[in-house]
Amino acid sequence: MDTSAPLADRPSPAERSWDGVPWPTDDELEDEVAWARLLDLGAASHPDEAFSADDVLPDAPAAPLDATRASASDLDAILGHLELIAAERHRLAAEEGRLIAAVLRDAAADPTPWVGPDPTLDLLWSDPRGRTAAAVRRDRVDLAQRAAAAEMAVRLHLSEQTIRTRATHVEALRERCPRLWDEFAAGRTSERHAVEAARLATSLPDDETAWSAFDDGVAETATRLTPTKFTVAARALRERVHAESIDVRHRRAARDRGVWMTPELDGMASLNALLPAERARSIMTRLDRAARHLAAASDEERTLAQLRADVLADLVTTPTPDAAAVDPPTALAPRNDSGPQFDATPRHTAAPTDPPAPAPA
């Protein structure tokens, strides 16, 4: 039997030529031999089997928001995790919209699960209200979609209008902006980007060339611009690819002009007006000019925003001295179907007194 040379006769440790790692020392070799004997006798377990993560893992990293303690690697991991969370949130929003649209689409294709069997298939059937079979089937489709929307609204704690709006946005994106829809479904762009793109795409005419050009532009910018900047860029792109002239579109859009009031908290309200841009700019210029004129007074303490609001209130509510003997303002001839024009010269704009407390609702 071969015998190994005494440990004392071995050469001194030297680095291995292929990786530069030193040879084990005599003490290290003796420890390995002792471990091997103990393993053979079953008196000890292998070091790997006795490994415990608590023995080698460092202390818990600093709190995510503690910038003084968190290391660069901790911050990078936290920020990377935030990116993953955001992408997953976007992906789930797209999936939710896809399922909502699918349920409504299936309800229209097969109303039976929602409204029961089709009575028009019975040869002996006659409608007590005198409707034709086609009219009854249309009503069944409408009722099925309403039932599906109501069911999803209850389950998701949303309004039925929100359910229908989300389905409309999804259908518009999948039909007119497939590239952007793919980005949204993959979580690479947000729901705000997708909603704005769907709204603008819906306003385009039925022209696949315009759809494709718009889709290419928004798909490229949606993944790198914030929602606000994306909205500006998408609107400009929509103007370029729209097949109709601005005059035709303006005349059609002017039919939707109107004024709305929205109640706010603490006895306040918001007054919103949809007007042709030219007239809105003219109104704002007049309000701003009057507000700045009043702000030049040495004893004026109101802000420009407050002054503009007071000027507007005076223009539309303060009667002239001879208002009792004067008929209401007469509308001038409409201009480009933009609505009537009125003389809105401010008479006076004094600082308002403290308003009385609103009556309880």
pLDDT at residue 137 in the model: 93
Q: Give yes or no for a contact between 288 and 302, defined as CB atoms under 8 angstroms apart.
A: no
Q: What DSSP state is assigned to residue 271?
A: E
Q: Give yes or no for a contact between 66 and 52, defined as CB atoms under 8 angstroms apart.
A: no
Q: What DSSP state is assigned to residue 205?
A: -
Q: Give yes or no for a contact between 74 and 65, defined as CB atoms under 8 angstroms apart.
A: no
Measured distance CA(198)–CA(219) in Å, rounded: 12
Q: Nearest 5°: phi and psi at 80?
A: -65, -40
pLDDT at residue 93 in the model: 97
Residues with Cβ within 8 Å of residue 240, at least 6 apart in sequence: 213
pLDDT at residue 318 in the model: 81
pLDDT at residue 283 in the model: 96
The β-bridge partners of 270 are 262
What is the reported pTM? 0.64
Residues with Cβ within 8 Å of residue 206, at least 6 apart in sequence: none
pLDDT at residue 21 in the model: 53
Cβ neighbours, 10 Å, residue 217: 21
Q: Give yes or no for a contact between 147 and 140, defined as CB atoms under 8 angstroms apart.
A: no
Q: What DSSP state is assigned to residue 92?
A: H
Angle, CA of 336, 339 and 341, to the nearest 5°:
105
Measured distance CA(25)–CA(158) in Å, rounded: 73
- What are the start-end ranges of the E strands in 161-244? none
pLDDT at residue 329 in the model: 47
Q: Give yes or no for a contact between 258 and 270, defined as CB atoms under 8 angstroms apart.
A: no
Cβ neighbours, 10 Å, residue 299: 5
Q: Would you give per-residue pLDDT tens digits along the chain (361 residues)?
A: 444 545 445 455 455 554 455 666 677 767 776 766 666 665 555 544 444 444 444 444 444 455 455 566 789 899 999 999 999 999 999 999 999 999 999 999 999 999 999 998 888 888 888 899 999 999 999 999 999 999 999 999 999 999 999 999 999 999 999 999 999 999 999 999 999 999 999 999 999 999 999 999 999 999 999 999 999 999 999 999 998 889 999 999 999 999 999 999 999 999 999 999 999 999 999 999 999 999 999 999 999 999 999 999 999 998 766 544 545 544 444 444 444 444 444 444 555 554 454 454 4
